[in-house]
Amino acid sequence: MGVLLLATRALGFSHLRFPAQIPMRDGKSLAADIYLPAVGGRWPAILIQTPYDKRQFWAVFSTDVGEDPLLKSPEYAFVVLDWRGFFASAGAAVAGADRGHDGYDAVEWIAAQSWCTGAVGSWGASALGKVQFDTAAAGPPHLVACVPIVAHAAELYELYFPGGVYFHNRNEFVASHFGSSSFVRQHPLKDAAWEAAERSGPQPEAMHVPMLHISGWYDHETAASMSVAAAIRERGGEGARGRQWLLVGPWTHSGASTAPPQQGELSYPAAHQEATREAKAFFDFYLRGVANGWEERPFLRTFRINEDRWVESDAWPAAPVRTQRLFLTAAGGLDAQAPADSGSALTFLANPANPVPTLWGAIIVENNGNHQGPGDLAAIESRPDVLTFTTPPLPRPLPIEGRPTVTVWLACDAKDTDVAVRLSQVTPDGRSLLLVDGIRRASLRDSFSQRQLLAPGVAVRVPVELPPVAVTIPAGHALRVSVAPSNYDRFDVNLQDGSSFSDEPGATATLATVTILLDAQHPSYLDLPVVEETRVRARLRPR
């Protein structure tokens, strides 16, 4: 090993790689790559467990390319492990194996190696983050700290059926990588099986280590990441309770772990590499004993979009907010004054054979012209099945922090339809930049546990809760709500015949005339969580 270390240093590589087989309690072994800093010594180690092939990290650690504050740090050893049953660990597949137990065995093996100080942390995004909760719940004694990124702990109905609609882009990706989606498809309603699935996952009380949770405003499960961080902070076991931190930046699912400045069509230099810098500071405190004051930090750091600054707080929202209600008008505006007339409405034809494309949004797989993150929606807003409602240019900045909600009254001549909502910022040059989007199945308007099909011509109220966001709309820009029957392939297409899935056997694509009601008896509106520190006095009227 000494010769290899000298060669690595001479070439300027950050870490030396060598393979290992890590023994598991059942006699199987999992394949790993160990990366030791190109200097002599013993180091704390960071475990990365991946189902996506450990070789993807070769260029990260074994070359001098890049300046990632954590992954290029000479102060840590890294162990990248292929999950049981995946890639180089494919031969270790055993029915019913527990990934938490695998993580436990890996942590304890690492801690016992001569090159390790005995302190082990874990790091990784998405599935690489989810497995950290499984590992922490198993309780390996030498696991000191975790950094789960854009990850959830337990399996939740809302992750698979946001607003009651099958999350097509995410779910199909998950099924293709991790096996059959039969459970999900057999339970399109939030029933007892989902409650059992949530209870069977790792619980806050089982966590006993500090964690830094990292998420992004353009990720698809921001709310879940924020929720699990708060739950462990409040109810976690000894060592975890009160020692959880949350960082939320202007990042997509794929861009949150290393946080490059470019996210979708926009760039955020003030957030560049902040996720990996914070992770290093966190590990420095817990794995190396660096007195950097980490535990004196507030629970939450969030990036306020357009202000390009970080806000620190102990609660979410980070600042006092008030609800500002803006009503959707027949003239295409958003107005603080409630409608006083009767009969105002707008109508479109919803055609499942021609769904409104996602274009930009909180997706995983980029395909068919759809992309992760923020971008211009103008190309779809000219469609006849997309209704837009826009404020005039704002006279002063409008800071929003929390979860906006859009409530739509509608009537439909089919058995069902979806209400797909996008919230966007309209720039002076005419771009409509996506902030957050959401959806609600009309037949699940009152409950995700019981379907109520529509009756022709009968008005129903459909609430659409949007994901969390922190943004300030600048003066001179406008705020826009768009309403459509689809957002594909982020969400599955509603065939409008009462079926649960677009590929359900026997289901038939059905045209529907959808009327969005905008009158005094059936007001449709946007509820905005507006930060109190800036008062918005001017009434917002249509152009």
Confidence of residue 217 (pLDDT cuts 50, 70, 90): very high
Q: How far apart are CA 192 and CA 448, in angstroms?
A: 12
For residue 1, pLDDT beyond 50: no
Q: How far apart are CA 103 and CA 190, in angstroms?
A: 31
pLDDT digits (tens, 9 = 90+) for 372-415: 999 999 999 999 999 999 999 999 999 999 999 999 999 999 99
Contact 469, 217 (CB under 8 A): yes
State which H helix or E strand residue 231 sits in.
helix 222-235
For residue 102, pLDDT beyond 50: yes
Q: Which residue has the higher pLDDT, 97 or 499?
A: 499
Q: How far apart are CA 301 and CA 306, in angstroms?
A: 16
Q: What is the mean pLDDT of the chain?
A: 94
Q: Which residue has the higher pLDDT, 538 or 32?
A: 32
Confidence of residue 96 (pLDDT cuts 50, 70, 90): confident
Among 334, 336, 471, 466, CA closest to 399: 471
For residue 314, pLDDT beyond 80: yes
Confidence of residue 538 (pLDDT cuts 50, 70, 90): very low
For residue 539, pLDDT beyond 70: no
Confidence of residue 13 (pLDDT cuts 50, 70, 90): low
Confidence of residue 246 (pLDDT cuts 50, 70, 90): very high
Among 541, 245, 512, CA closest to 385: 512
pLDDT digits (tens, 9 = 90+) for 429-478: 999 999 999 999 999 999 999 999 999 999 999 999 999 999 999 999 99
* pLDDT, position 319: 87
Q: Write down all domains in the chain, each with its CATH number in brackets.
A: 1-145 (3.40.50.1820), 321-531 (2.60.120.260)
Confidence of residue 8 (pLDDT cuts 50, 70, 90): very low
Report CA-CA distances (Å) from 28 to 96, 143, 502.
Answer: 14, 22, 42
Mean pLDDT of 324-331: 98
Q: Which residues have C-beta within 8 Å of that of residue 206, sequence separation ≥ 6?
A: 136, 137, 139, 237
pLDDT digits (tens, 9 = 90+) for 47-88: 999 999 999 999 999 887 778 999 999 999 999 999 999 999
Confidence of residue 132 (pLDDT cuts 50, 70, 90): very high
Confidence of residue 542 (pLDDT cuts 50, 70, 90): very low
Mean pLDDT of 302-311: 96
* pLDDT, position 503: 96
Report CA-CA distances (Å) from 292 to 142, 280, 286, 310, 405.
Answer: 22, 11, 10, 19, 40
